[in-house]
Chains A and B, each alone.
Chain A
Amino acid sequence: MLTSIIYNVANGLMLGAFYVLMALGLSLILNLSNVINFAHGNFLALGAYLALELSKVMGFWGALLIAPLLTALIGVLVELLMRFVYRRDPVYSLLLTFGLAFVMQGAMLWWWGPSPQAMEMPDILNAPISAELFFVNWYRIFTVVVVIATVIGVFAFLRHTRVGLRIRAGTLDLDTVSALGVNVKLLRTFNFTVGCLLAGLSGVLLTGKNGISPNMGDDYLMPSFIAIIVGGAGSLTGTLFGGLLIGITAAVTGAIYAPASEVVIFVMMILVLLTRPRGLMGEEGML
């Protein structure tokens, strides 16, 4: 019984790692630019497809490194369009990313076709670490390690670099930051790009356990939203905890009563909205 619980919690943490990576990217973009990136799931899929193509040329490790960067590059192009709508009512930026989601999905469907595809994973990643802990294979450990490294990297970047400081300041008051002479346009572009990089990285990591198709990212968009709402808008640490929390909840529910494993995270969101609407770690006045 105890081992079962430990197994499922461990499982939940590994699941949560994915949610964290996706939610973090979404949160970064939301906090600074006040934009809900509906196309975030599509950037995930794009990262996966790019990794697939790159792996044919430079193998898995090369693809892992380059694909997220390429995805971020496409993010730069997308962000250029967004510049037209930052000043306006938020409804326009929502519609823009919403429309972009359609465009990206259609484009990927057209280019790579509807049939799902597979990517070769290096053999060393495929083996479980022991017969006892059969569900912990090196691939999942590798994913968690990458996520931890990325999260540490992002937080360290925000805390210890000038650009990071500006992003954090911009989240609170972008106008003042601009008045202080910072090039806000570049800042937003950079921030958006980092968000897309995280989405692309999620996509590459996902190829290890899921097939590649134009729709593969759709199922990660809602959990990312919920991670942000539960954790608290405006707080990256909150998003981090939100992601882990919903991962564990989903996994444990999957073990107890599987059909509810999807709905339970929505229930959690309602509970948070009712009792502490700003989120577990959100700051009041952050919207």
Chain B
Amino acid sequence: MKKTTFSTVFPRRTLLKAGVAASALQVASPFILTARGETPIKIGMVNPLTGVLSALAKSELDGAQYAEAEINKKGGILGRPVQLLVEDSANDVGTGVQKTRKLIDRDQVDVILGDVNSGIAAAMAQVTAEKKVFHIVPGGHTDTITGVDCKWNVFRVCNDTTMDTSAITPELVKRFGKKWFFITPDYAYGHSLQDGFIKALKKLGGTYDGDYLPINNTDFSATLIKAKGYKPDVLLNNMGGLTQINCMKQIVQFGLQKEMALGGALFEFETVKALQPDAQAGWWVMEWWWDQPKVPEVVKFVADYRATAKKTPSARDWFGYVSMHTVRVAAEKAKSLEGPKLAKIMEDLELPRDVALQAAAVRYRAGDHELMPTIFVGQVHPPKAGPDDVFSIEAEIPGVEAAGPVEDTGCKMVHPA
């Protein structure tokens, strides 16, 4: 009697045929598009949609897709429809670089967006500069992207670590004190963050201690024991993503928040919502916040976004949104999509209110191509007026103040001939 195996249930030939059909589709697709006779403007986004940063990447994607629909409804860019092509960098630099090459070489995109992971963003910038393609980094934070490694074709929406740390340090010192303890992930971004804090803290005469921990550290007890012994005024949680959540949970479990203030630079909306109420605490920076009742453009945007995307936008959604609209604004002003022309126009370009979505004027600084928005400093707390009301703005620091002069960033912008 013949044994019933996988092969008898699903004969090989059937699977092979299915596989061939699938690959034929892939082969045919570029031909299908050109046959329709459209010439859309292609923007390629490379982001870690799988892996530990996926929640943040997804929000950026949501914002960008929302903008894509909005732009196309109003006639596109320079009269042509916009098409957002999405690739997953899987939080792997090799993949991110490969996908960037693919988008530029094969798909012939005009603009590249990405990556949340600043290491990948920097690697991508190497490729885009080599190929002279306009590149916007929506949410990768390491300073070098608009600092020592700045490039003429790269612009950044989110703040760099200097801006975030300089914005919040005076507030924390004023309210709680100058003796700090850092819990920082041991890689370039973490070092950059802690160095920024230390610089700002030292200016105010503070003292500090801390621990560098492995990026994916799961257990913080040893460090927290040390922190308790040090008795700081403020405990800074510089960990990112999932590890930041784990750290907050354990800090609160140890009851440390009763003896010292909690704080840090970024504590993203997506991350805050993943915590239980007792761990939603501390003083942090939001790079954009949805609850700005005094700015009518923001109120309208949030209402529309909630209706369409069925979620309240976070700073990451805003990054994706701004990136897409930046391309539109720049292209329309330059009347072209050529990399060098777009880059030239972008310098000191002020974004309209309905894109900037905040009270103050917002522009990309010419010297380092960093966007200078308002930095919202405030307190995270359990939901009050609604499930999304987890942050109260206490101070609004102009980004350009927190950033310091261009010379300090180490950026020497070299423009193409």
Contacts and interface: CB of A to CB of B under 8 A. Distances in A.
Interface string A1-31: 0001001100100110000000000000000
B270 interface: yes
A128 B273 contact: no
Q: Is the interface of B mostly helix, strand, loop or mixed?
A: helix
B219 A211 contact: no
Contacts of A84: 5-6
Interface in B186-226: 186, 211-214, 216-219, 221-226
Contact of A137 (B186, B254, B273): B254
Given A116-B55, A258-B222, A258-B223, A211 B255 contact: no
A116 B216 CA distance: 15
Contacts of A252: 222
Contact of A115 (B186, B249, B273): B273
Interface string B45-68: 000011110110110000000000
Contacts of A7: 225
B223 A114 contact: no
A53 to B, nearest CB: 16
Interface string A187-227: 00000000000000000000011110101101110000000
A59 to B, nearest CB: 15
A257 to B, nearest CB: 9
B216 A115 contact: no
Contacts of A8: 222, 225
B52 A215 contact: yes
B274 A219 contact: no
A118 B278 CA distance: 12
A254 B276 contact: no
Nearest to A215: B52
Contacts of B54: 109, 114
Interface of A: 4, 7-8, 11, 14-15, 84, 105-106, 109, 113-118, 120-121, 126-128, 134-135, 137, 139, 208-211, 213, 215-216, 218-220, 250-252, 254-255, 258-259, 261-262
Interface of B: 5-6, 49-52, 54-55, 57-58, 186, 211-214, 216-219, 221-226, 228-229, 241-242, 245-246, 249-250, 253-256, 270-271, 273-276, 278-279
Closest 7 interchain pairs by CB?
A254-B222, A114-B54, A211-B245, A116-B274, A258-B211, A262-B214, A115-B55
Given A11-B225, A115-B58, A210-B249, 19 more contacts: A14-B221, A84-B5, A113-B55, A114-B49, A114-B54, A115-B273, A128-B254, A134-B228, A134-B256, A137-B254, A211-B242, A211-B246, A218-B216, A219-B218, A250-B219, A251-B221, A252-B222, A254-B222, A255-B225
